[in-house]
Amino acid sequence: MDFTFSEDQLLFQESVRDFLVNEITPDKIRQLWETDSGRSDELWQQLAELGLTGLTVPEDFGGLGMNELDFVLLAQEAGYVALSEPLVNSVLVATPLLSECGNSAIAEQWLPKIASGEARAVVGLAVNKLVEDAHCADLLLLEKDGAIYAVEAANASLRANESVDPGRKLFAVDFDPAAAVCLADGDTAQALLNKALNRGALGVAAQSLGLAQRMIDLSVQYTSERKQFGVAIGSFQAVKHHMANIAYKLEYAKTPVYRAAYDIANDTPRAELSVSHAKLAACEVADLAAKNSIQVHGAMGYTWEVDLHIFMKRAWAFNSSYGTAGFHKNRVAAALLADNAALGAGATF
């Protein structure tokens, strides 16, 4: 079986990368921090024109009808530029939840608007406690008491919370279930919530790969320009080791992330295990990239003016998004122990 990406997928990734790198520079990121919303309607429409907002929307509703495996490389590129727009949440989590919830009226009302970029949708799960980008969402899909509700922006009460990452906007959200639409409850809701959690964790893992690569690139550039004793510090063996340690771990982390995307897209029995493995591996390398990049930047690495902190803080924030390391380690352990128990029960001697 061939698990490599197709030529079309790689070309799409390249075109999206070129757009994002040109449009979302560190200077523009800082400019958005100074605005009230921290978001750009103009940028969102540009993303829609590229077809990104409708990538996972079914074709019947005006989308491209693609899946998680088609989007994972694009989520990686979103991480590379520390994209703050809720693209990954909308495309990878909210849209599939709307498509699979079984409420045709809500799907018909919102999916065409999401595909065209007219509306933003975000998901709030209990595991996250705070809802990212609730302030700019037209539709919120929220978990409450084991059920899933579709809540229009006007019916939600928001309370802002600070984040270590200035590019993330977090909110505690309150709403009256009587003024919302219950999409699912009971076992049906639990199955949908589990899938939403897996997709959200996959999105974080893919973006963490991009963040790690960006921190490598920034550090290589800095160490090529910064000189001591008349030579670039990038020529020092200790600095090379710091970068090499990130680079090889990054390559090993990519495979679990891509495998997780495949398992989710094909709804395989091991999807939960694959996702937790992917998030652990990707967040670990992003953490290492932040640590080693600070080291090679020296004291400059801690300053507000250096671009490194934009990506470093996003990596730190992702550690607890869609499940902490402890949460995902427990899921991996439970899956492995269950497999061993099944093997033991079926063994004959």
Q: Which residues of 28-54 are buried (b: 16+ CB within 10 A; e: fewer)?
A: ebeebeeeeebbbeebbebbbebbbbb
pLDDT value at residue 185: 96
Neighbour tally for 198: CB within 10 Å: 26
* Structural domain contains residue 319: yes
Q: Is the pLDDT of residue 347 over 50?
A: no
In a domain, 170, yes or no: no
Q: Provide the pLDDT confidence category of residue 99 given band limits of 50, 70 and 90.
A: very high
At 134 the pLDDT is 97
- Provide the pLDDT for residue 349: 33
Q: Would 149 be classed as within a structural domain?
A: no
Please tell me the least confidently modeled range out of 45-54, 165-174, 214-223, 249-258: 214-223
Instruction: Give the range of the structural domain holding residue 254, as residue numbers without chain letter.
Output: 193-338
Structural domain total, the chain: 1
Burial class of residue 248, CB neighbours in 10 A (0-12, 13-18, 19+):
exposed
343: pLDDT strictly greater than 90 = no
85 in a domain, yes or no? no
Domain assignment of residue 78, yes or no? no
Count of beta carbons in the 10 Å neighbourhood of residue 335: 17
> Looking at residue 294, which CATH number applies to its domain?
1.20.140.10
Mean pLDDT of 133-162: 96
Nearest residue to 136 (alpha-carbon basis) of 170, 104, 161: 170
Lowest mean pLDDT among 49-58, 80-89, 287-296, 340-349: 340-349
Mean pLDDT of 186-200: 97
pLDDT at 342 over 80: no
CA dist 158 and 308 (Å) reads: 31
Query: CB within 8 A of 209, min separation 6: which ones?
Result: 76, 79, 250, 253, 254, 257, 282, 285, 286
* Assigned domain for 128 exists: no
Q: Is there a domain that residue 64 lies in? A: no
Residue 268 domain-assigned (yes or no): yes
pLDDT at 188 over 90: yes
- Nearest-Å Rg of the Cα atoms of the chain is 21
Collapsing DSSP to helix, strand or coil, 209 comes out as helix
